[in-house]
Amino acid sequence: MARKLSKRAKGVLADRKRRMQWWHKARFGMFVHWGLYSILGRHEWVQNIEQIPIGEYEQLAAKFKPKPNCMREWAKLAKKAGMKYMVMTTKHHEGYCLWDSDVTDYCAGRTGPGRDLVAEYVAAARAEGLKVGFYYSLMDWHHPDGYRCATSEPARRRFVDYTHALVKELMTKFGKIDILWYDVAHPLPDAKAWESAKMNRMVRKLQPDIVLNDRSLIPEDFGTPEESIVAEGEGRAWEACMTFNGSWGFMDTPAEDWHSAREVVRMLHQVTQQGGNLLLNVGPHADGTLPAIAHERLKRVGRWLDVYGKKMVYGLRPRTPGGILGSLAVADWTAKGKTAYAWVRNWPGTEFGIGRWKGKVKSVKLLGPKGATRLKFKQEPRRLVISGLPRTCPDKALGIAILQINCASKPSRGMATHTEAAGHWK
């Protein structure tokens, strides 16, 4: 049975399309996990995994001395990489607040850094024209009520008040904020216990254009599949968040453990095809500098997006159900109206056949840095053969080029069976 919506919920829904327009068009954002755990470099869960006593962990705050305005490096790189927004951990599970808080002393303003790192981050992102997101972990390993709130009502009251007060600070101290990205609603059992509806009402009142994720245990504006690119149901916005190298917080892993630039474009293909966004993480060193490999990989992604982003990635576009165009060994598909796009990641050489193609093809073009080149093609009953391709892939950034196939009607291919060798069919 459909749940009856409150007046507030109806209003939020009606306004969603407007608020989320930019978000859908943006497609690609930078996630930044940065906190005291970055000093240890053994994953952002290190305090919990290694069971470091709070008193010992807290002392890291005195050692946290990031370089002034180090966030400019992140924002510049995000822009170069073709990202349109950023989301930074303002408070991760460790409980340390990266801003200068009036609610807690366990914050950057009153410990080692002696600065408001959130304010610096906001300024850096804005300077590059990027939208600004705040990650905020509801779970808190530092606050004395952060665990016992689950079993003691007075503790729950204090902790929820504390949580709402911090969120309120974030929503009032830094100007316009574009995204609030909650995380881990543990240990309270449900949205009622967190008083999430009330909290989000406050957030929307203070930031009428903000976009909220689903981790305050209310679905709100978008879903957040993690470490996998799986679309939510049609009509529901979603954003896949992915680590770059297996850890969200800084960890010095070998180069091979990082996603390649080609893999990042493959992720971008998947989210584009299924109407989602990609929030790709970087974990800066404690001093705020980014690992060189993040620079190297993201710059190459950016070079590719400079050529293909506008046409292939950004903007509102319909989902392309994978089944319609099936899979190919050398390419992946997206489609828009009567046009199919093959993202060719393994260059086929000068000729290329697409089996079981259905419908009339009007033209085939190869898209590259210098624009579009028309290609020859012929249509046989069971395949489309494209010829006159260059010997090697025209894309020198990543070796992924696009073939645009314009059709007389919506493009589609027939079903594959294992036994249908060419010639068996009549």
Is residue 338 within 8 A of residue 404, CB to CB? The reply is: no
How do beta strands 222-223 and 339-344 pair? unpaired
Site string for ligand GLC, 54-93 (x = CB under 6 A): ----------------------------------------
Tokens representing 411?
């493009």
Nearer to ligand GLC, 140 or 183 (CB): 183
Nearer to ligand GLC, 213 or 272 (CB): 213
Alpha-carbon gap, residue 202 to 195, rounded angstroms: 11
Alpha-carbon gap, residue 305 to 417, rounded angstroms: 36
Taking the CB of residue 196, how many other CB atoms lie within 10 A of it?
25
How is residue 257 annotated by DSSP? G
Under the binding rule (CB under 6 A), the answer on residue 37 touching ligand GLC is: no
Judged by CB under 6 A, the number of residues near ligand GLC is: 8
Min CB(31)–ligand GLC separation in Å: 7
Q: What are phi and psi of 268, to 5 degrees?
A: -65, -35
Residue 289: how many CA atoms within 13 Å on its side-chain side?
5
Nearer to ligand GLC, 9 or 54 (CB): 54
Site string for ligand GLC, 262-281 (x = CB under 6 A): --------------------
Min CB(65)–ligand GLC separation in Å: 23
Classify 270 as helix, strand or coil: helix
How is residue 269 annotated by DSSP? H
Sole binder of ligand GLC in the list 28, 32, 36, 44 (CB under 6 A): 44
Q: Considering only residues 173 through 212, tell me which ones interact with ligand GLC, judged by CB under 6 A.
A: 183-184
Nearer to ligand GLC, 78 or 241 (CB): 241
Min CB(133)–ligand GLC separation in Å: 12
Min CB(189)–ligand GLC separation in Å: 17
Alpha-carbon gap, residue 23 to 237, rounded angstroms: 10
Nearer to ligand GLC, 31 or 304 (CB): 31
332 vs 39, 165, 277, 420, CA distance in Å?
40, 47, 18, 22
Q: Considering only residues 278 through 317, tell me which ones interact with ligand GLC, judged by CB under 6 A.
A: none
Answer positive or negative: Cα dihedral of 28, 99, 74, 287: negative
Site string for ligand GLC, 220-249 (x = CB under 6 A): ------x--------------x------x-
Tokens representing 356?
């079981």
Site residues (CB under 6 A) for ligand GLC? Answer: 33, 44-45, 183-184, 226, 241, 248
